[in-house]
Amino acid sequence: MSVIDDLRRIREEAQGAIDVAQDESALETLRVRYLGKKGSLALALRGMGQVPPSERPLVGQAVNEARDQVEALLAAAKSRLARAALEAELESTPLDVTLPGRRTALGHRHPLTRTLEDIVAIFQRLGFGVLEGPLIELDFYNFEALNFPKDHPARDMQDTFFVEPESLGALRGRQDVLLRTHTSPVQVRAMLSRRPPLRLIMPGTTFRCDSDPTHSPMFHQVEGLYVDQGVSFADLKGTLDAYAKAMFGDRPTRFRPSYFPFVEPGAEMDMACGVCGGSGQLPGGEPCRTCKASGWVEVMGAGMVHPNVFRACQVDAEKFTGFAFGFGVERIAMNRYGIDDLRLLFENDVRFLEQF
């Protein structure tokens, strides 16, 4: 039997098989059987070596025609199956367009995001600009320029995640590299790159080795800085009182002396606990663990910028004064929404988040 006879037989056989194929999977099997690298047409071509040279152009043309015909049969069969599937779908039970639709559950902003946006908006109304900085910091910006000398006990206040500097290029060997423990380094960068007057807040993510109902190893912080001539502690207290009233209404607040290396004098601002309402006890009579039964929750630290910080940042401490403050956004959200465990804000439990 000649090669041309083989090609005719293959074409007729393919047509019969394609005509009875019931789905696209069967068509793909037939395509591989007849057109694949090891298919029938390829096998037929192996006999080309026995064809006289004068007849090879005719045989080559016959091979091309056979391939084109099989491809056309496959395409027609695919269209036929698609048309049959559409007709079957149209003849099936029709869609009842009068049925009410299934409402899609819409998400919303995370309570931390909403709280941070509101904080930023309040301070912007008070005349503060917004500035952000890097999450990975040098020891100088995070500690030394903020009056945290090396080996000073004040560093124990902030358990720190240090970073191996091998992959940080030029930073290698210069000084310690760490995940910033607060957003105060942005204050240093601002004072080194700008001249007073400065009125800025610095929101961002910070990292410390903490984990309990009121602490998280990763949390969000907002730092504030106001530097100008004649800035006093009264300006600090008035600013923070205005912020507290805008954020919490008439909830009681108090200031008490406290120590922070980068301010002098320093203070902490407390607010009546949002979980127990300032009573120190839960409705069942149990002591409130959020405020440790005191009725008060610390919400921020603040104070007048220390002269050593001004000197490290090349600001004239004889001419300028300023105040700084910092607080955790999670603490504000806990007081705002009555949340008793800060870790709930990071667990992404939909049952918890749907309440907001």
Residue 211 shares a structural domain with residue 63? no
For the chain, what is the domain count? 2
Q: How far is CA 269 from CA 180, 211, 222, 240, 298, in A?
A: 23, 22, 14, 9, 6
Whole domain around residue 330: which residue ranges? 111-135+181-353
Region of 192 on the Ramachandran plot (φ > 0 left; ψ -120 to 50 alpha; else beta) = alpha
Residue 191 in domain: yes
Residue 151 in domain: no
Residue 65 shares a structural domain with residue 126? no
Residue 260 shares a structural domain with residue 323? yes
Residue 99 in domain: no
Last residue in a domain, options 25, 55, 88: 88
Residue 42 shares a structural domain with residue 122? no
214-240 b/e (C-beta count within 10 Å ≥ 16 → b): bebeebbbbbbbbbeeebeeebbbebb
Residue 249 in domain: yes
Please give the chain's pLDDT, 356 residues, in tens: 466 777 777 777 877 888 888 888 887 887 787 777 777 777 766 666 666 777 677 777 777 777 888 888 888 888 888 888 888 877 877 777 788 888 887 888 899 999 999 999 999 999 999 999 998 888 888 888 888 877 777 676 666 777 776 555 555 456 688 888 889 999 999 999 999 999 999 999 988 876 555 567 888 999 999 999 999 999 999 999 999 999 888 888 899 999 888 999 999 999 888 778 888 888 888 888 878 888 888 889 999 999 999 999 999 999 999 999 999 898 888 878 878 788 888 888 888 888 88
Residue 35 in domain: yes
- pLDDT of 227: 96
Residue 288 shares a structural domain with residue 201? yes
Residue 273 in domain: yes
Residue 349 in domain: yes
Residue 210 shares a structural domain with residue 83? no
Question: How many other CB atoms are there within 10 angstroms of residue 31's CB atom?
Answer: 18
Strand segments, DSSP code E, in 110-217 are 129-130, 136-138, 162-163, 177-179, 198-207
In this structure, are residues 288 and 273 in contact, taking their beta carbons and an 8 Å threshold?
A: yes
- pLDDT of 319: 93
The structure tokens listed for 8 are: 């005719």
- pLDDT of 166: 56
Task: State which amino acid sits at residue 300.
Answer: M
Residue 217 shares a structural domain with residue 346? yes
- pLDDT of 169: 53
Q: How far is CA 93 from CA 147, 159, 273, 345, in A?
A: 77, 66, 60, 47
Residue 201 shares a structural domain with residue 80? no
Residue 321 in domain: yes
Residue 115 shares a structural domain with residue 55? no
In this structure, are residues 44 and 3 in contact, taking their beta carbons and an 8 Å threshold?
A: yes
- CA 143, 146, 152, 157 dihedral sign is negative
Q: Give the global pTM.
A: 0.64
Task: State which amino acid sits at residue 110.
Answer: H
Residue 226 shares a structural domain with residue 295? yes
Q: What is the CATH number of the domain that holds 230?
A: 3.30.930.10
Residue 122 shares a structural domain with residue 77? no
Alpha helices of 207-288 — where are they, by DSSP H? 233-248
Residue 13 shares a structural domain with residue 81? yes
